[in-house]
A and B are shown apart, each in its own frame.
Chain A
Amino acid sequence: MSTENLTRLKSADDLEAMKNEALPKIAIRKDPSAPLHGGVTHHIMICCDTGCASSGARKIVDAFEADLKEKGLDKTVDVVVIGCHGFCEMGPLIVVYPDDVYYVHLKPEDIPEIVEETVRGGRPVERFLYHDRETLKPIVHYKEIEFYARQKRILLTNCGHINPESVTEYIANDGYKALAKALSQKDNTDALLEEVKKSGLRGRGGGGFPTGRKWELCRNAPGDKKYIICNADEGDPGAFMDRSLMEGDPHRLLEGMIIGGLIIGADEGYIYCRAEYPYAIRRLRIAIAQAEALGLLGNDILGSGWSFHLHIKEGAGAFVCGEETALIHSIEGKRGMPTARPPFPAISGLWEKPTNNNNVETWANIPGIIRNGGDWYASFGTQGSKGTKVFALTGKVRNTGLAEVPMGITMREVIFNIAGGIQNDKKFKAVQIGGPSGGCLPESMIDRPVDYESLIDAGAMMGSGGLVVVDEDTCMVDLARFFLSFTRDESCGKCTPCREGSTRMLNILTAICQGKGKPGDIELLEELARNIKLSSLCGLGQTCPNPILSTIRYFRHEYEAHIYEKKCPAGQCVDLMTYWIDTEKCIGCGACKKICPVSAIDGNKKEPHVIDVMKCIKCGSCIEACKKAHAISRK
């Protein structure tokens, strides 16, 4: 828990006073010439988001603390643990203020040198800097790196720049100012709703329903008791935007929800967060305690007389709970099985009360919209898709990480400029957008602008923002099979098309990958997919055929190669491969024969060896063992 001493704020003026008091503490991060506060000369910002933590960021924190103490600098240099800075590929990474020096890929043993050179000497250490891939020149300031320079950060402004466990730092960065503004108009929430509508913000969880209109439905629903919910059950493989937001800037989510409660007329809210996000849950708990201590949450918020309470519910491991009716049942303590709509949650949701549910990114956009106005937000993006979108960049790209871009940017720019293109000089093949519910786009489609409609038109969907980029070595049939095995395992089992149909589609895909595909399988898959989309009860079932439909649409030839030629063009499907020894190259060393676990290789010393394909289990051990001659290959 934070050590901050918090006294209850009784008015907007109190909040303003707190901000003014806090500003000098972080001034050196914004202005290198700012006067020192409390004698602190440097802030060392260390990303400890789950991603960086897994590459050893905690040890960097320890190393700094130990070294600073040893050098007697621990009173004048602040080590600040921050949330996701975005460029996960480069972790562990730090920023040293006031000089704004950005270091990447650090190891604990590097730290004394940084303290000596950068903190004491005011000089950057070149070998820890980021080096541009093309020019190979070191770059000192992260903002100049293409990964950051091409982004438009209006939501992630604090993420990676403040201590997420300090409400003071949030308030110093205009935190809760939007709430104070909203409360000043609490008797005219129509105007506030109008701003949300004007912003053009659409649900960031996947569906893209206009947020203002959604709120209006719940707001107008009959009933005194209403709930709001934040869906933080981000379960798509390859998506971590919401986690990073919660870990990096938790108060922004809280502020968005409190304002939402005010506009909608709800006095209670839930954040439903998956249990696999322990840091996020920890940070949210701290943030809630701080907001309550400050009177920004709970009874009589900022002395306005209006009250709002917020609870955290930990999920228990079910992807389908990202579906809003399933999520509601899960909060109620039931099996997370969706129910048919209507009635919509806006009319009858949690405990049959009007309920509004949005995801983390949607809620977190609200403070900015209220503070700067709907027009400001609508100035970013395209005609139909306003604002920015945060994407998680993963797969075979060089720069994995988190990127916020304006709507309407092309996918090519995201993949080749921000994400740096494909690793190991391989060829781009496709990008899967929207996880198991989304679809893939081939090269021919990535010059389209990124917005809700054009993605759906292309057979994909915005989804929550996971981008998985695959290269020429990825088999698209196998990719579809992977996503189907995920949805099959996560189907709740309530409706027939999803429960039975996803299993049948998976069985067919598995057979195709094993070389047991039959003529007619593609057509049967298409029939199943078309009908499952139309007839499933909830979004999970209705979207689970998308990976199949889009891979068939763009990579039908790969399916056909598997079925008719029994070949996997990407060379990924084990059952369609054969191993063979090039007798010209083989020197008869016997290494392969020795390592083969099933004795499928035979041959005399110093003579070419052969593989018995009937015995071979395609484990790949022989290729690894053939170090001298490189005589074994698979096809």
Chain B
Amino acid sequence: MGSTSPTGQNVDLARLDAVFDKYKDMAKGSLIPVLQAAQDTYGYLPIKALDAIAKQLAIPISQIYGVVTFYAQFRLSPRGKHIIRSCQGTACHVRNSARILESLKTALGIAPGGTTEDLQFTLETVACIGCCSLAPVMMIDTDAHGRLRPDRVPKILDSYSN
């Protein structure tokens, strides 16, 4: 499990006050709703926020970690607005998907699994997306981009930035 928030990420804990206020009357069993609200607030669950939730609800941080990692909905690191999945299947591999991934890494300044500072993009790799004849391929959100060349990558990314 990944654990930490990206560096330089400042977590404004004051934003949790509204969450705590909303659930203050719910004496028991408020942990999951509070986590859901906190994730709505920050887009993910920063460690510092979990710490504050632990103190507020008097639940040990280890147990909160256990709950967060149990449910598929919760994320411990922020995800970008756009999810890029760079295909590493056999067809893409033999057509140099490694160079596409390299150019994605360079353009975004992050490694697979990472998210850009501006939270625009999360970069992931995927085993195969079934677009082998278009190899090498990547998906951005639900769009497939095929027949990629490393030099075309920045331009495609630009079309998603706003």
Contacts and interface: CB of A to CB of B under 8 A. Distances in A.
Question: Do any CB atoms of chain A lie under 8 A from CB atoms of chain B in the complex?
Answer: yes
Contacts of A24: none
Interface in A124-157: none
B75 to A, nearest CB: 11
A316 B69 CA distance: 11
A313 B32 contact: yes
Contacts of A599: 94
Contacts, number: 74
Interface stretch (A201-209, A392-400, A447-455, A613-621): A613-621
Interface string B32-51: 11011000000000000000
Interface string A530-558: 00000000000000000000000000000
Contacts of B59: 333
Nearest to A336: B70
Contact of A331 (B29, B36, B92, B133): B29
Given A333-B67, A335-B66, A619-B133, A598 B90 contact: yes
A331 B31 CA distance: 9
The bracket for how many chain B residues form the interface is: 20 to 34
A341 B28 CA distance: 23
A621 B32 contact: no
Contacts of B133: 595, 597, 619-621, 624-625
Contact of A316 (B63, B72, B91): B72
A137 B129 CA distance: 42
Contacts of A625: 133
Contacts of B130: 619
A317 B72 CA distance: 5
B71 A314 contact: no
A317 B73 contact: yes
A591 to B, nearest CB: 11
A558 to B, nearest CB: 24
B132 A620 contact: yes
Contact of A597 (B66, B73, B135): B135
Interface string A317-344: 1100000000000111111110000000
A351 interface: yes
A318 B70 CA distance: 8
B85 interface: no
A275 B132 contact: no
B74 to A, nearest CB: 6
Nearest to A318: B71
Contacts of B30: 333
A598 B71 contact: no
A313 B95 contact: no
B31 A335 contact: no
A336 B73 CA distance: 13
B36 A316 contact: yes
A317 B71 contact: yes
Interface in A275-304: 275
B35 A316 contact: yes
Nearest to B92: A597
Task: Enumerate the 10 nearest inter-chain pairs by beta-carbon distance, A residue then B residue, closest first.
Answer: A621-B133, A619-B132, A317-B72, A333-B31, A597-B91, A316-B71, A317-B73, A316-B73, A335-B70, A597-B135
Interface of B: 28-33, 35-36, 59, 63, 66-67, 70-74, 89-92, 94-95, 130, 132-133, 135
